[in-house]
Structure formats: structure tokens, C-alpha cells
Structure 1
Amino acid sequence: MYVAFVVDTFSHRIVGWSAATLKETKLVLDALEMALRQRDRHGFPHTAGELIHQSNAGLQYASLRLSEHLDSVGIAASIGSVGDAYDNPLMESTIGLFRPCPTWSV
């Protein structure tokens, strides 16, 4: 199971998420679309050029499909360096909270 989160760095809230059995671009796009719908629903629709999508260098984040979608909605893309877990501590700490305890049974 793979999960993608979109975290608002101002509020430190998870504003979009998606889960899937495959680590594909759709996983990321679904989380992004949920985040954009949340902003609209709460009266803060995004304006082109005001948001930055920071991610790691995973294939699903570096895909042409995601890049084109971000460009079409006016969101700047920012990808961290390969193998650097310290380039995005907010997401690393969010994911650390989400990971299940090793004693949980599935």
C-alpha cells in the first residue's frame, strides 16, 4: 500500500491524500486534486503562481503527466535532491507519524 500526502506548510495540516496499491502518478494526482478541492471548499481557491508543490524525486513525482498538470493549474514544481531525506523535514515528520507501529498486525 502506498500513500501520498499534500501538506499545507502554513498550517501543517494534511489537506490532500491518496492511497493505492501501485506507486504511480495517479496516486499523486489524486492527492493534489483533493487538496485543491479542500482549498476551494474552505473559500481559499488557489491563484496561478501562488503555490509550490515540493516533492521527492520518486518517479511518480518526476513524471511528465504530473509536471504538465501542475503547469496547467499554475503550481510551481520543486523536487528535492535524490536520496536526501532532509530536504523536506515537514513531510518526513508527517510520514513518520503515519507509519504503523511494527507490532500492528495487518
Structure 2
Amino acid sequence: GFCCGLHKIERLMRQQALRARPRRRGLPKDIGVRQLAAVLPNILDRQFAATQPNQKWVADFTYIWTAEGWLYVAVVIDLFSRRVVGWSMSASMTAQLVADALVMAIWRRGSPRSVLHHSDRGSQYSADQFQRLMADHGITCSMSRSGTVWDNAAMESFFSSLKTERVRARVYRNRDQARADVFDYIERFYNPRRRHSTIGYLSPMEFERLASSG
């Protein structure tokens, strides 16, 4: 109901340290070279149910905007319980990013064998470094078909939850602030407390505890 000019609004916003929300930024592009020899078939084939831990893992990475620039978040999920078993964060979209997440999963789960690892066909997952890591630990590689996001729907569901329930409500001044918040979401909320309809409305950690005791 108040009439005022544009310059007055600008002055008042400066005084209160207010800024308009910027337009959506262009998303980063994967410009890495894909190793065609490492592009493997889709063995998972959208079979997202697992009968035991460390039978099927799905993996991918996403990006979160901060005032310092993009923060890339790589995640590995065990389909048995939907638990995040490995994750890593970096300012760079590299093979090391996804390798670090897989190393954490291997270490946390006691170096299991005969795991099926499913991801997309990005240059990070087809890189020699990452393929050697999987081969050294006896992990079978499965990759989504090109342009078919539903092939990794379980992973997309996790990233949707992360961004809807946490990231979109935040403004991160730097990458460290975003790292701390993503860590808090995964380790203090998602794994121990967030309920999932696919596992009987239990949290991933509770579902694993009950499965091991039964």
C-alpha cells in the first residue's frame, strides 16, 4: 500500500543488507572424457530390492550452490536398507570424488565381496582409476543406459529428499558450511531417523538393526 521509487527500495535494502534471490544458475556440465571400454551394461535393470546388505549399491553425485561456487556431493547407497554407506564432497567434479565415496562404503561395510555397484555412465565412473578400484575389491559394475534417469531412480530419490528437506531451505556462504550441513543431514538425520516406506517406515539404521537381530 506504500508508494515509493525504485531507488528508495534499493537504499532501504542496502541498509538492511538484503539481496534479491538470484535467478537459477546454469548447472555444471561433465566435460570429462568417457572411457568407452568402461561403459558397461545395466545389470541392475531397475531391480531396486535387495535381500541382504552389501548385495546392491547405487551411486551418483549431485551439486550444491554456495557463495564460493559449486560443491559436489557423491553418495553410495545400499539398496537393502536405503542407508548411505559412503559419501564424499569436493569443489571438483573428478573421478577422485566418486572414488572417495566408494572407499568409504568399502571401509564401513567391512570390504564385502560380490557387490553390484550401479551408477550412470559419467566420465568419473568410467575412469580407469575408479574401474581399477572396483576390480581390486571384486565389485561388479553396472551402468544406466544413456538418457534414462529411471535406471537409477533410488539414487535420484535420495538427492530429491536431500535438496527438498534441507538444501533448498538454506543459503550457504561457503563450501565448508554446505559440507557441515550435508554431513548433518546424512549422519544425524537420514541414516538414523528418516523413515522410508520401502522398508516399512523405519529408518535405514533401525531396519538394519532389526534385520541383524532377527
- TM-score under structure 1 length normalisation: 0.87
Match of 2:79 among 9, 12, 17: 9
- What are the ranges of 5 or more consecutive residues in structure 1 without an aligned counterpart? none
Please give the residue correspondences for 1:65-104 in structure 2 after superposition, counting only pairs within 5 Å: 65-99=129-163, 100-101=167-168, 103-104=169-170
What secondary structure sits across from 1:105 in the alignment? coil
How many residues matched? 99
List 4+ stretches of structure 1 deviating above 3 A: none
Mapping of 1:17-32 within 5 angstroms? 17-32=87-102
Identity, % of aligned pairs?
34
Q: CA RMSD in A?
A: 1.1
With normalisation by structure 2, the TM-score equals 0.45
**3-state SS of the aligned residue for 2:154?**
helix
The one-character-per-residue Cα deviations of 1:28-55 (angstroms, maximum 9, x if unpaired) are 1110111111112xxxx412xx101100
2:103 paired with 1:37:
no
Q: Secondary structure at the match of 2:129?
A: helix
The answer to which structure has the higher helix fraction is: 2
CA distance in 1 between partners of 2:149 and 2:122 (Å): 12
Q: Indicate the structure (1 or 2) with the bigger Cα radius of gyration.
A: 2
Q: Which runs of 5+ in 2 are unaligned?
A: 1-70, 173-214
> Of Structure 1 and Structure 2, which has the larger fraction of its residues in strand?
1
Displacement of 1:83: 2.0
- Give the distance between the partners of 2:171 and 2:91, measured in 1 at CA: 18
Shift of 1:18: 0.3
Say whether 1:52 aligns with 2:139: no
1:105 equivalent among 163, 171, 176 = 171
CA shift for structure 1 position 104: 2.4
Secondary structure of the equivalent of 1:60? helix
